[in-house]
Amino acid sequence: MRLTHYTDYAMRVLLYLGGKAGEQLSPIAEIARAYGISQNHLMKVVNDLVNAGYLESVRGRYGGVRLARLPRDINIGEVVRHTEDGFNLVDCASCVIAPACGLTGALNEALAAFMKVLDGYCLEDLLTKRRDLQWIFAAVGDDIGKQAADQAQI
């Protein structure tokens, strides 16, 4: 099974914000820089997570996003179901042997097992090394700041 970049980015945003202490707001640009990904793509994902109630958005000069729920209240399986369009691993509808094939059932069983595992986790479970996450994001931010300063001197 392979998840889309959309789901990957959604999980990255949740992990980033979950790794932050308290109610601190984070601009989308900051999150994009931390991961080295497109701010435009991330804006779409963040907007979707806000509309779904996972994030809260504050507009304005000092605005940004933060978790709208406690990390223990954000189920990973629920997020994946929300962000993925479909889970058809193969297109059996147009296959001539579909009525006699056991592959569809096996794949459905595998998918159910995959989702059952994700349903057993919440965001808080993935943040067990929260201090390490904070340190990594701080180090990435420092590197980005140094690179910008170096570029300004050139």
Q: Would you list the domain boundaries of the chain?
A: 5-86+122-153
- % of the chain at pLDDT higher than 70: 86
**Whether the predicted pLDDT of 10 surpasses 50:** yes
Distance from chain centroid for Cα 74: 11
Q: Which residue has the higher pLDDT, 152 or 43?
A: 43
Domain 5-86+122-153: assigned CATH number? 1.10.10.10
**Whether the predicted pLDDT of 30 surpasses 90:** yes
Q: How many helices (H) and strands (E) does the chain have?
A: 7, 2
Structure tokens at 65: 């996003």
pLDDT digits (tens, 9 = 90+) for 45-97: 999 999 999 999 999 888 999 999 999 999 999 999 999 987 777 778 788 88
User: What is the residue-wise DSSP string for 35-54?
Assistant: HT--HHHHHHHHHHHHHTTS
pLDDT digits (tens, 9 = 90+) for 98-139: 888 888 889 889 999 999 999 999 999 999 876 677 777 777
Report pTM: 0.82
Q: Report how far apart the first and last C-alpha atoms of the chain are (Å, whole number).
A: 46
Q: Which residue has the higher pLDDT, 152 or 24?
A: 24
pLDDT of residue 142: 57
* Under 8 Å between Cβ of 138 and 132: no
pLDDT of residue 91: 78
pLDDT of residue 131: 67
Rounded to the nearest integer, the mean pLDDT of the chain is 86
pLDDT of residue 136: 75
